[in-house]
Amino acid sequence: MKNAQAFLEALDRKAKMLAPAARATFEANRELCSWLLDPLARWAEAAYGPEVFDAAARGYAEYCVGVAKAKAIYEREGRYTPERMPEIMSGVYHDEGYMIPYMWAAILIYPFWPSMVSHIAMFRDEFVRRLPKNARVLELACGHGVLSLLAAEDRPDLEIEGSDISPPAIAVANRLLAVSGHADRVRFEVSDALKVDTNGDGRYHGVISAMLAEHLPNPTPLFSTMAQRVTSDGLVFFSTALESPQRDHVFEYNQESRPLQMAEAAGLRASRMASDASAIPPGSKFLPRATAMILRAR
Ligand SMILES: C[S@@+](CC[C@H](N)C(=O)[O-])C[C@H]1O[C@@H](n2cnc3c(N)ncnc32)[C@H](O)[C@@H]1O
């Protein structure tokens, strides 16, 4: 049965230049990264066959090249220069040819990028394992669905609903779900996180919004949705990118205090925060990083 090594060996074959750094991050955080990659390797192979590892490695490589190009433009322009929303909808979220490799990259950056590893620890130890028994969980912008599936794998009592605006992403999530053994407790569907019915009485003990806010022209309504959806004693796992340009990053966060202020203005408070940077060339104006928080109702 395949495990984390299958992803690393595929990087050696298909993304040689990126493999040493990814392996170093994995080795320095082996237990945590294996918690994510071992079950993912099983599901990926069962859902897509053994070729999936090379495809994932190619997706990761393409994504890293895109990020490096976007960073160079950012340094020159001094601000994000994303595509317009209609182009992002058609050229990213609705384009299967772009979205499927992107989804492999989106999950592989967690164990392979130093700026993302602490998110796995916070997600597992301070969110998933602290939810009450039989908790109901909502994941907004679940993409590939892997965070929800890992939560289900770790906690056999959870019931989880995930949604994403992208049909190809939800197709990936449903394919992995079908072989995960969790199809009776996890559901994925296509929907816009900002169109979740906030007047509905559906409240959740856990709400996940991972790496979504930077994709929204205005993230403020996302924080209202999270505040309205979480129970008074519930937990929110929130994360976002700062000074990290990409073709579909439309909202530029420069300070950790900004998403925190947005959360506080919506009636949430942070009980834990982590923010980590990636390595960048000396002399860069910007410092790409990712921040994660555990939020609770006030
Ligand atoms: C970087 S991926 C993050 C996926 C996953 N949450 C993770 O942490 O790896 C961003 C996701 O946000 C989704 N997305 C963008 N705008 C959205 C919206 N308005 N509603 C729901 N999903 C959205 C995209 O389709 C994509 O799957």
Amino acid of residue 57: A
Among 212, 222, 247, say which to mutate for ligand 1: greatest number of ligand atoms within 8 Å of CB: 212
Q: Outline where 29-163 has alpha helix (H).
A: 30-48, 52-77, 85-88, 96-112, 114-121, 146-154
Query: How far, in Å, CA of 99 to CA of 168, rounded?
Result: 6
User: How does strand 186-190 pair with strand 159-164?
Assistant: parallel
- Around ligand 1, the residues with Cβ closer than 6 Å are 93, 106-107, 141-143, 147, 164-166, 169, 192-194, 210-212, 215-216
Domain boundaries, the chain: 4-109, 116-297
pLDDT tens figures, 234-292: 999 999 999 999 999 999 999 999 999 999 999 999 999 999 998 777 889 999 999 99
Query: How far, in Å, CA of 297 to CA of 278, rounded?
Result: 31
3-state helix, strand, coil in the chain (%, to 5): 55, 20, 30
pLDDT tens figures, 55-101: 999 999 999 999 999 999 999 999 999 999 999 999 999 999 999 99
Mean residue pLDDT of the chain comes to 96
Classify 169 as helix, strand or coil. Answer: helix
**Which residue's CA lies nearest to atom 16 of ligand 1?**
215
Over pLDDT 90: what percentage of the chain? Answer: 94
The topology under which CATH files domain 116-297 is Rossmann fold (3.40.50)
* Helix-helix angle 146-154:167-180, to 10 degrees: 20
Joined tokens for residue 298: 């006030």
pLDDT of 198 > 90? The answer is no
For residue 201, the model assigns a pLDDT of 60
For residue 281, the model assigns a pLDDT of 74
| Mean pLDDT to the nearest integer, 175-185 | 98
For residue 14, the model assigns a pLDDT of 98
Place of tokens 């300070």: 255
